[in-house]
Amino acid sequence: MHLDVLDLREFYYRTGLGRAAQRAIRERLLGFWPDAKGETVVGFGFAVPLLRPYLDGAERVIALMPGPQGTMHWPQGLPNVAALCEETLWPLRDGQADKLIVLHGLETSVSPARLLDECQRVLVPGGRAVFIVPNRAGLWARRDATPFGFGQPYSLSQLETQLEAHAFEVTRHSAALYQPPSDRRFWLKTGGFWEKTGRRLSMRFAGGVLVVEATKRVRAPTGGLKQRVRKPLRVLEGLAQPGPKPV
């Protein structure tokens, strides 16, 4: 079940808890990708809170939002780069994206397998994707007052298994949202402390979201060696063929 774009916008841009979540996840993402100079960066789901740092250096930034969720103009005050699309049929050509960010897309998808196939299709060979999903062992997945309390939460092993089944190679992972999902002033003011402290704990049980980077695995060509490769090396041509020794 996809959330409504108006609810997502309200959470991330108009609540203290949402702004804290935005900062924490963005910091983890920038730890993976400090910049994207000259690259095409695509976001799917509601990834716009994480795309802004790449607007200046990237060749192009595209924010795709699934039909059931709805879309909005983004970024505010600049030419729109957001577009509405079918969940498993994106208006992008094969191999168009260098980097892909999926936030509030995988856990709410009605067909996660087909969605991952579409992620594969639009990435360049060796392209990188970051998937941000609710941690099933974390507190945020247990509270439906935030967007992370909806959809299917994941454990790290579940997400890695699903990605590897769709020709992704997991390269690194992290977590974010160690502070409790509370809008009380104390927790909001100490959010930075909890994020720093939480990184020294087990991400499987403490972090509210998993942040997993994976690369598009390029399959080796099938069919074996071609006939011309099986022939003897041409460097041997012209040498006398062995024959019987003279008596």
Q: Is 50 exceeded by the pLDDT of residue 13?
A: yes
Residue 202: what pLDDT?
A: 57
Mean pLDDT, the chain, whole residue set: 87
Residue 232: what pLDDT?
A: 47
Residue 239: what pLDDT?
A: 47
d(Cα 132, Cα 29) in Å, to the nearest integer? 9
Could you read off the pLDDT of 112-132 as tens digits, one per residue?
Answer: 999 999 999 999 999 999 999
**% pLDDT > 70, the chain:** 81
Q: Is there a contact between 61 and 88 (Cβ–Cβ < 8 Å)?
A: no
Burial grade of 176 (CB within 10 A; 0-12, 13-18, 19 or more) = buried
Choose between 193 and 64: higher pLDDT.
Answer: 64
Q: What is the average pLDDT across 41-60?
A: 96
Residue 174: what pLDDT?
A: 92
b/e 104-120 (16+ beta carbons within 10 angstroms → b): bbbbbbeebeebbebbb
Q: How confident is the model at residue 228 (pLDDT cuts 50, 70, 90)?
A: very low
Q: Is 90 exceeded by the pLDDT of residue 89?
A: yes
Q: Which residue has the tokens 């967007």?
A: 147
d(Cα 187, Cα 4) in Å, to the nearest integer? 26
pTM, rounded to two decimals: 0.85
Angle between helices 5-14 and 16-32 (to 10 degrees): 90
Q: How far is CA 23 from CA 5, 116, 177, 206, in A?
A: 19, 26, 10, 17
Choose between 203 and 117: higher pLDDT.
Answer: 117
Q: How confident is the model at residue 33 (pLDDT cuts 50, 70, 90)?
A: very high
Residue 177: what pLDDT?
A: 92
Q: Is 80 exceeded by the pLDDT of residue 47?
A: yes
Out of 54-58, 87-91, 96-100, 194-198, least confident range? 194-198
Q: How confident is the model at residue 225 (pLDDT cuts 50, 70, 90)?
A: very low
Q: Is there a contact between 44 and 187 (Cβ–Cβ < 8 Å)?
A: no
Q: How confident is the model at residue 180 (pLDDT cuts 50, 70, 90)?
A: confident
Q: Is 70 exceeded by the pLDDT of residue 142?
A: yes
d(Cα 233, Cα 228) in Å, to the nearest integer? 10
d(Cα 195, Cα 175) in Å, to the nearest integer? 9
Could you read off the pLDDT of 18-27 as tens digits, one per residue?
Answer: 999 999 999 9
